[in-house]
Amino acid sequence: MEPAPLHDDIARGPRGGRAWWLNTPDGVRIRAAIWQPEGTPTGTVMLFPGRSEYIEKYGPAAADLTARGFAVVTVDWRGQGLADRATPDPLLGHVGHFDEYQRDIDAVNALIRAEALPGPFFLIGHSMGGCIGLRALHNGLPIRAAAFSAPMWGLQLPTHKRPLAWVSSFGGTLIGLGERLVPTGERECYAAIAPYDDNMLTTDPEMFAFLQGQLRARPALALGGPTLSWLRAALLETTRLTRMAPPPTPAVTFLGSRERIVAPDRVHRIMGGWTGGALELVEGAEHEIVMERPETRTRFFDRAAALFGAHS
């Protein structure tokens, strides 16, 4: 482990945050960061970002969590943020199989041990991070309770495009085109180029400007659309997770009524069978629950902290 940059000037995170370069078991260099509360932490939250995201985006979330007494550890998944990019074109989001992300968790767990972060341990997973996190729970990650924000337990695809997604991703990967951009994808980062009006991320103009300002200031953090290989891996992983009985971990999931990125029906299906799980629907919210309007963010972190406290 070696020190890595943490861009405090754009993160709006708590004071004293630190970042490290970590080497995964398969030799990929990723980045992780830790924020600590004032005083003794009441536990540690593992915060798993979504696809195309990066550590600095979660500075405000870390501030909310440390204010509630938790230490926070988060990560740049392989292929995004400042972690090693997987293709010659650094703007393409690529992975061969979602099991690769579990190796990133192994590296983060090694950092947790090295820094002696205190238990009990909790999980917050947003979008793709919710998919990675659910798999980690099935794999036995020692988490007392979990909070999910618009988890990617399925991709929102029009009915007529679902067969095309399966055929193109599997066929393209099979004939060696797995590193190609998906047919409907954009090479540019959506958060960097989308206009605020009718964007699919947040209804909060201040938070939307915050995200775009980060990417203007640090364009190396940006990531564009996924590759055919990523799409194939995501379709396989979300299908498998949907067919599994939910784990026994107490959990709460937040989902916006205007969700247009992940598949709401998959979220309802999994949470409907989750013993000890609760689904909270947020009227008017888009995909980025923890980047939504102040009342939505407060509601999410208060609910997560109450759940974590009940199982600490």
Report whether 261 contacts 175 (CB < 8 A): no
> Which spans in 115-220 are helix H?
128-138, 162-174, 190-193, 205-217
pLDDT of residue 282 exceeding 80, the answer is: yes
Residue numbers of the domain that contains 177: 2-310
- The long-range contacts involving 168-174, CB below 8 angstroms and separated by at least 24 positions, are 168/228, 168/231, 169/228, 169/229, 169/231, 169/232, 169/235, 170/232, 172/228, 172/229, 172/232, 173/228, 173/229, 173/232
User: What type of residue is 192?
Assistant: A
Residue 9: Cβ within 10 Å count: 10
Residue 273 has pLDDT above 90, yes or no: yes
- The DSSP code for 62 is H
What is the average pLDDT value for the chain, to the nearest integer?
95
pLDDT over 90 (residue 203): yes
Each residue's pLDDT tens digit, 222-239: 999 999 999 999 999 999
- What is each CA distance from 88 to 32, 68, 92, 138, 192, in whole angstroms? 23, 42, 9, 33, 21
Return the structure tokens found at 83: 């972690």
pLDDT of 154 higher than 90: yes
Question: Residue with structure tokens 């988890």?
Answer: 151
200's torsion region: left (phi>0), alpha (psi -120 to 50) or beta? alpha
CA 282 to CA 299: how far, in whole Å?
10
What CATH number should be reported for the domain holding residue 150? 3.40.50.1820
pLDDT tens digits, 90-99: 999 999 999 9
Q: Can you give the pLDDT at residue 35?
A: 98
Nearest-Å Rg of the Cα atoms of the chain is 18
Neighbours of 171 (CB within 10 A): 12
Q: Please classify residue 160 by burial: count the beta carbons closer than 10 Å to its beta carbon, then call 0-12 exposed, 13-18 middle and 19+ buried.
A: exposed
Q: What percent of the chain has pLDDT above 70?
A: 96
Helix (H) or strand (E) holding 298: helix 294-310
**Statement: residue 163 has pLDDT above 70:** no
Number of structural domains found in the chain: 1
**Of the candidate ranges 31-35, 130-134, 163-167, the one whose mean pLDDT is the lowest:** 163-167
Answer whether residue 171 shows pLDDT above 90: no
- Which ranges constitute the DSSP H helices of 33-117? 59-67, 99-114
Q: How many CA atoms lie within 13 A of 298 on its CB side?
A: 3
Six-digit token pair at 85? 């990019």
